[in-house]
Chains A and B, each alone.
Chain A
Amino acid sequence: MSHASRRAFIAGAAALPFLHVPGARARTAGMLTFGLSSFPPNLQPWANTGTAAGTVKLIMYRGLLSYDAKGALKGELAESWAPEGTDAWVIKLREAVFQDGEKVTSEAIKWNLEQVAAEKSTAYLRAEFQGVDKIVTPDARTLRVIMRQPTATLPNWLASYHLPMVSPRSVGGSNVAVGAGPFVLKAQERGVALEFEPFDRYFKPGLPKLKRLKAIAYADENLRVAALQAGDVDLIEYVPWQAMEAISGDQKLKLDAVDGPFMYLVFNGSRPPFNDARVRKAVGHAIKRDEIVKAAFFGRGSILEHLPITETSEFFNAELKDGWRYDPGLAKKLLAEAGHPSGFTCTCLSTAQYGMHKDTAEVVQQNLAAVGIQAELQLPDWATRVQLGNRGQFQIAVGGTAADSNDPDGLANLLDGSLAPSYVRSIGVRVPRIEELLRAGRSEFDPAKRKAIYAEMERVAIEEAPIVGLAWRSQGYAMQKDVSGFKNLPGALSFYSGLTFEETSVG
């Protein structure tokens, strides 16, 4: 008897791993669970509060325009948009209602755009919308946006996830503003999760396809991956690079990754030695970028030796793609020409809070040492790094971001030295020709001419090096094999992929 019991015990123990103990989540038909990288600090519609907030906004809200899977502009609440002369845009709205039942009218849209531009606005696009002279609403579905100067890039601004249209009635109280997007926010537990249900009067018939969507914040990237592998979640964002290979090799999962965000260097050009373009360019030629791709991104990325314009962009200039190619000999020559034949010492600001920033800085430090520049690393926490960058308390700094859009005007924030000091761009490095070309590109409506303008801008940028590109980093989403319809948008638009939740289905 005791022998039989022991056997039974051993057999039972051996079988335990094969029992389906309901540790993992039991799936509900039509419900998708999404692993967010962080909980949004808030859901203010027009303020920039990070990419996680951006994704949630794309679930709840819609703007006038957005992007399709190939990255081309497409209409959302706007049925059509076209320039009228060079100073105005005419926008026709489609039939739609906000989630509070209010109609989407030209007056409501006008109110939204005016809030963004208002004196006390904290909107991300506030500065851009100072360029709007007035907005006229000839009828309930037509707007004429009259600009102070020709602005070809207005559609890109209107497609930004920082510019959702919300019901005027819903703004002002402590509640989350109500938009006209595919999903309605049903519940949220601060710091933990948000739950959505489909909006039954969404203006796109048959969408969204999901019956429920739950977004759970997993700040730890390894746990986010573990939750996907364990089946707790169906889809995750910000797949850590070190996990991409395992996910690609997993029969139950699939990975959708694009090169979109990038790492780069900025300089303090308000004093020597980085006030000299030759020194900045020398830095550009001193960096062995494949080492950054390997060290910081586990090989999941690619080198960036020019301005961050992706190869798939119509504005990509093949002849400039190795403008800052790795050439230590040339770097030393440029340093000698600039009066630094033996190099110099400087500081390099980055942050220890994010591995990719720290690892990138370490490779930069080693490569600079090889051409005689001894860079001392400063690695404070992110908050301190931002403050030091904004105040210009650095000499070289490592940055990481994505352009505002795939249009080269989306790089203006990084290149335009006439803008207010910011940690995302060099301090005290003004290149009048670049500023001029940015203005020209913004006001030029002819695509061929725009292409020529931005090619010229990139040529100037490579010589003057207001920033130095380092590496593209792979931005990935991973999901269960039975999730369909979700798409990682190309290039800088990767953070707009939340737009495709409306097409997503599971099972």
Chain B
Amino acid sequence: MLVYMAWRVAVALSLAWVVATLVFLIIHLIPGDPAELLLSQGGVAPDPAAVEELRQRLGLNRPLAVQYLRYLGALAQGDLGASLQDDHSVAQEIALRLPRTLELVGAAGLLAFLLGVPSGTYAALKRDLLADRILSAFAGVALSAPVFVIGTLVVLVFAQKLRWAPAGGYVPLASDPLRHFLLLAMPAGTIAIGLWAVVFRMTRTSVIEVLGRDFIRTAHAKGVKSARILVHHVVRNALIPVITVLALHLGTLLGGTVLVEYVFNWPGLSGYLVRAVEARDYPEVMGIVLVTSVLFVFLNLLIDLLYAALDPRIRHT
């Protein structure tokens, strides 16, 4: 087991290095000079001497290989560097923003799960009846509507027309919990609509499949109450693929909530990444991509190790 773990950790570390190198190369290869951009804001021409001085100060004049080695050296010490725009620590900023994105994604996932499983189960039980058709039609619309359209509609209805919620923004939980959750509700709800459709469809299909299994017929034959069969045998068995799919979607949302963050002014990691790319802020882009990738790599590692712990066949192959 130890050898297996060591091997998996080595693979994970190698993957992290590959990601770090690829991100470094890609961001340096795309056109756009951070110093030039920073001093050219607002469509004005900076003094070339000022741009040169800034480039010098930021270390952008050094050969790419030197920059790469310095980057790896700093990484080895856990240093993600500082923003080229204001010298702010990238690690600190990620530590601030990552939990906000996780909160958004987590809240959306929870909402989607809590609404999707019961509605999917109900639709499966009412298969091909009116309720199933209505719910399935809703799911079709929810899946096909772009998130920014839903988000804009949500802002229009709840903030501009009804004035039940602010149009967007962020308040830390500690400073005003009520307002924090009010501000979280709209973006989380917007993401949850699409996710609900996924959970609903998976649950419906899965429940229909489980309902046809022999052990369900046996349970009925044994006289077990329908409600108990549904909760303990049908839904429980049907949930395995649902959770797998939901987890996959949540994983992709980690770096993919950019439109929702933009529409609702939620200061999470995705919006931070987009602004960093626009500004060609190399340390910020490399830091964010590296952290999210490493998170994925190590989550996979954790799952691999869990599989190995649960199933001896895996660690012996």
Residues of A within 8 A of B (CB): 16-17, 20-21, 23-25, 41-43, 47-51, 53-54, 120-124, 126-127, 174, 189-192, 216-220, 222-223, 226-227, 229-232, 353, 380-384, 386-388, 390, 399-402, 404, 413, 419-420, 422-425, 495
A51-B41, A120-B53, A122-B39 given; A386·B162 CB < 8 A: no
Instruction: Give 10 closest A-B pairs by Cβ, nearest first.
Output: A383-B32, A50-B41, A401-B43, A42-B86, A422-B45, A23-B165, A41-B85, A226-B167, A227-B167, A384-B31
Contact A21 B164 (CB under 8 A): yes
Contact A383 B158 (CB under 8 A): no
CB interface residues, B 27-48, toward A, < 8 Å:
30-33, 36-48
A226-B167, A386-B37, A386-B40 given; A123·B50 CB < 8 A: yes
State the CA gap A451–B204 with chains docked (Å).
78
State the CA gap A219–B278 with chains docked (Å).
13
- A388: nearest residue on chain B (CB-CB)? B31
A41-B279, A220-B265 given; A192·B170 CB < 8 A: yes
CB interface residues, B 263-282, toward A, < 8 Å:
263-265, 267, 271-272, 275, 278-280
- B92: nearest residue on chain A (CB-CB)? A190
Q: How far is the CB of A367 from chain B (nearest CB, A)?
A: 22
Contact A49 B265 (CB under 8 A): no
Secondary structure call for the A interface: loop
Asked whether B49 is an interface residue with its Cβ less than 8 Å from the other chain, the reply is yes
State the CA gap A353–B37 with chains docked (Å).
14
Asked whether B159 is an interface residue with its Cβ less than 8 Å from the other chain, the reply is yes
Asked whether B163 is an interface residue with its Cβ less than 8 Å from the other chain, the reply is yes
A223-B167, A386-B36 given; A53·B31 CB < 8 A: no
Contact B45 A413 (CB under 8 A): yes
A126-B49, A192-B170, A227-B168 given; A219·B265 CB < 8 A: yes
Q: Which residues of A contact B49 (CB under 8 A)?
A: 126-127
Contact A23 B159 (CB under 8 A): yes
Contact B31 A380 (CB under 8 A): yes
CB interface residues, B 1-49, toward A, < 8 Å:
30-33, 36-49
Asked whether B226 is an interface residue with its Cβ less than 8 Å from the other chain, the reply is no
State the CA gap A191–B281 with chains docked (Å).
14
Contact A223 B38 (CB under 8 A): no
State the CA gap A458–B98 with chains docked (Å).
54
Contact A122 B50 (CB under 8 A): yes
Contact B46 A124 (CB under 8 A): yes
Q: How far is the CB of A36 from chain B (nearest CB, A)?
A: 11
- B56: nearest residue on chain A (CB-CB)? A120
Contact A232 B41 (CB under 8 A): no
Using an 8 Å CB-CB cutoff, how does the interface string of B44-88 with A read, 1 for contact, 0 for none?
111111110110010000000000000000000000000001111
Q: 6 A-B residue contacts at CB 8 Å?
A: A23-B159, A43-B86, A127-B47, A191-B272, A219-B262, A383-B278
Q: How far is the CB of B263 from chain A (nearest CB, A)?
A: 6
Q: Which residues of B contact A41 (CB under 8 A)?
A: 38, 41, 85-86, 279
Q: How far is the CB of A217 from chain B (nearest CB, A)?
A: 8
State the CA gap A380–B50 with chains docked (Å).
25
Contact A383 B263 (CB under 8 A): no
Chain B contact-residue range equals: 35 or more
Q: Which residues of B contact A24 (CB under 8 A)?
A: 159, 163, 166
Contact B44 A232 (CB under 8 A): no
State the CA gap A382–B279 with chains docked (Å).
9
Q: Which residues of B contact A400 (CB under 8 A)?
A: 43
Give the interface centre of A24, A48, A121 by most chain B CB atoms within 10 Å: A48
Q: Which residues of B contact A383 (CB under 8 A)?
A: 31-33, 37, 278-280
State the CA gap A226–B271 with chains docked (Å).
19
- A38: nearest residue on chain B (CB-CB)? B275
Q: Which residues of A contact B170 (CB under 8 A)?
A: 192
Give the interface centre of B49, B96, B279 by most chain A CB atoms within 10 Å: B49
Q: How far is the CB of A322 from chain B (nearest CB, A)?
A: 25
State the CA gap A325–B87 with chains docked (Å).
48
Q: Which residues of B contact A20 (CB under 8 A)?
A: 163
Q: Which residues of A contact B304 (CB under 8 A)?
A: none
Q: Which residues of B contact A424 (CB under 8 A)?
A: 40, 43-45
Asked whether B160 is an interface residue with its Cβ less than 8 Å from the other chain, the reply is yes
Using an 8 Å CB-CB cutoff, how does the interface string of B156-193 with A read, 1 for contact, 0 for none?
10111111111111100000000000100000000000
Q: How far is the CB of A325 from chain B (nearest CB, A)?
A: 25
State the CA gap A419–B53 with chains docked (Å).
18
Contact A387 B32 (CB under 8 A): yes
Contact B41 A49 (CB under 8 A): yes
State the CA gap A13–B44 with chains docked (Å).
54
Contact B168 A223 (CB under 8 A): yes
State the CA gap A222–B50 with chains docked (Å).
35
CB interface residues, B 246-289, toward A, < 8 Å:
262-265, 267, 271-272, 275, 278-280
A127-B47, A191-B272, A384-B30 given; A23·B164 CB < 8 A: yes
Contact B155 A226 (CB under 8 A): yes
A23-B163, A401-B42 given; A223·B37 CB < 8 A: no
Contact B41 A53 (CB under 8 A): yes
Q: Which residues of B contact A401 (CB under 8 A)?
A: 42-44
Kindly list 10 other residue pairs between chains A and B, CB separation below 8 angstroms, not including A121-B53, A226-B167, A227-B167. A23-B166, A122-B39, A122-B54, A126-B50, A190-B93, A191-B275, A219-B262, A227-B168, A386-B33, A401-B44
Asked whether B152 is an interface residue with its Cβ less than 8 Å from the other chain, the reply is yes
Q: Which residues of B contact A48 (CB under 8 A)?
A: 39-42, 44, 46
Q: How far is the CB of A356 from chain B (nearest CB, A)?
A: 11
State the CA gap A123–B54 with chains docked (Å).
10
Q: Which residues of B contact A404 (CB under 8 A)?
A: 44
State the CA gap A422–B32 with chains docked (Å).
14
Q: Which residues of A contact B33 (CB under 8 A)?
A: 383, 386-387
Contact B32 A230 (CB under 8 A): no
Q: Which residues of A contact B44 (CB under 8 A)?
A: 48, 124, 401, 404, 413, 424
Using an 8 Å CB-CB cutoff, how does the interface string of B92-111 with A read, 1 for contact, 0 for none?
01001000000000000000
